[in-house]
Structure 1
Amino acid sequence: MSSSAFGLNCTLTPSPTASSTQKMLDLILGAIASHGVATSSARVVDHDVKPGVTADEGNGDEWPALRKRVMDADILVMATPIWMGQPSSIAKRVTERMDAFLGEIDEHGCYPTFGRVAIVGVVGNEDGAHHVTAELYQALADVGFTIPAGSSAYWVGEAMGDVDFKDLDKVPKKTTETINTLASNAVHLARLLKKNPYPAPK
């Protein structure tokens, strides 16, 4: 049974400038692809995603096209940098736009996102990866995504340091192990849910 994964890079840095968040996202998607899953990604800041909480805010809003790619995938990977101990403003805008899913719950109580898996990747030069992960996983679960077992994939450098993830000569072994575990669990869960969808609530 074929599966697909779509990554949202929530960096503040437009293309084509190198991005630590993109490096993390590419590592996660690469690990997912090793399980025979088709992958793709988008850098959200390169798109005109309007503020709001609807599926389409009009006036050239480019969220609908990104949202379609989210909904066409079995696995969503959200990757964000840490800024001031928080997910990026881009990541928060994405979760705000996902609020529209709550208005699309059907008469049986099923969310349009049911059966889709979501995982998170985080990079930063300060502590806060667990806090950022908690914020994003809470939002993603609230709008109907399923979270697999295991830690989020993250790397944080020395507080007040000047070394970015993209500049590392070698990815730390523990980070690689965490990415591989998270990817394996995400693919396994997505395939289980595809074969056995959530039942309609009674």
Structure 2
Amino acid sequence: MKALFLSCTLKPSPAPSNTEALADVVASALQERGVAVDRLRLTDLSVPPGVETDLGDGDDWPAVHERLLDAEILVVVTPTWLGRPSSVAQRMLERMDAMLSETSSDGTPVAYNRVAGVVVTGNEDGAHHVISEISGALGDIGYTVPGQAWTYWNQGPGPGPEYPDTEHGHEWSHSTGRLMAHNLHAVASALAAHPVPPHED
């Protein structure tokens, strides 16, 4: 089983990402369950705006799309900005919109029988809103989003330190992240054993 962690940080490599640091907790818990973890930071790629899988020369999204289809588990990793998902996360979802019309050889939508979750950080509130927006969109695309398939950290209202600069809330965020990994793996395993069949009108 494979998991793809798609990072929607605004920071290009090699700048450290606070949200990726929390996502590492989830990745480690999945690896303990025998899941192979693949990581990708979208700001390191050329991903122009659009709602198609391939926009032609200079578009790196087709390779991302291949890695999405190679993974049974997707974890979207995004900071909170102004109470909302990052602009990179929004562009990711817009490019994934093309998957709505893509099917496998048996006619099943390509996102079916795959699970997804969300990791969010920010030294502001809004994490539940970010989780809801991304989870809802992934459900529209065809992913199964298990219960408690998210974890987040925030400092609370007002300015304050970032995730790596304090231990505030880490115990809860890490515990929730490990539960997230458990649920993603359990539901992905169930779908592998009993996949959603093609729908016939």
TM-score range, shorter chain: over 0.9
Partners of 1:159 and 1:125 lie apart in 2 by: 8
Give the aligned partner of residue 68 of structure 1. Answer: 66
Contact 1:113–1:143 under 8 Å retained in 2: yes
Which TM-score applies when normalising by structure 1? 0.93
Partners of 1:36 and 1:45 lie apart in 2 by: 28
Give the aligned partner of residue 176 of structure 1. Answer: 174
Using the TM superposition, give the Cα deviation of residue 108 of structure 1 relative to its aligned residue in structure 2, in angstroms. Answer: 7.1
Once the two structures are superposed, the pairs formed by residues 19-34 of structure 1 within 5 Å of their partners are 19-34=17-32
* Residues 107 and 191 of structure 1, relative CA distance in 2, 3 Å threshold: closer
Ranges in structure 1 where 5+ consecutive residues have no aligned partner: none
Give the aligned partner of residue 92 of structure 1. Answer: 90
Using the TM superposition, give the Cα deviation of residue 6 of structure 1 relative to its aligned residue in structure 2, in angstroms. Answer: 0.7
Contact 1:12–1:88 under 8 Å retained in 2: yes
- SS at 1:201's partner residue? coil
The AA in structure 2 aligned to 1:43 is: R
Once the two structures are superposed, the pairs formed by residues 157-176 of structure 1 within 5 Å of their partners are 157-169=155-167, 172-176=170-174
Report percent identity of matched pairs: 41
Ranges in structure 2 where 5+ consecutive residues have no aligned partner: none
Contact 2:25–2:178 under 8 Å retained in 1: no
Two-structure CA RMSD over aligned residues (Å)? 1.6
Using the TM superposition, give the Cα deviation of residue 59 of structure 1 relative to its aligned residue in structure 2, in angstroms. Answer: 2.4
- SS at 2:78's partner residue? strand
Partners of 1:7 and 1:107 lie apart in 2 by: 26
The AA in structure 2 aligned to 1:119 is: G
Moved more, 124-133 or 107-116: 107-116
Using the TM superposition, give the Cα deviation of residue 25 of structure 1 relative to its aligned residue in structure 2, in angstroms. Answer: 1.8
Using the TM superposition, give the Cα deviation of residue 149 of structure 1 relative to its aligned residue in structure 2, in angstroms. Answer: 1.4
Give the aligned partner of residue 49 of structure 1. Answer: 47
**2:77 is equivalent to residue 79 of structure 1:** yes
Moved more, 22-31 or 103-112: 103-112
Partners of 1:116 and 1:149 lie apart in 2 by: 14
Partners of 2:104 and 2:164 lie apart in 1 by: 43
Moved more, 150-159 or 102-111: 102-111
Partners of 2:70 and 2:164 lie apart in 1 by: 29
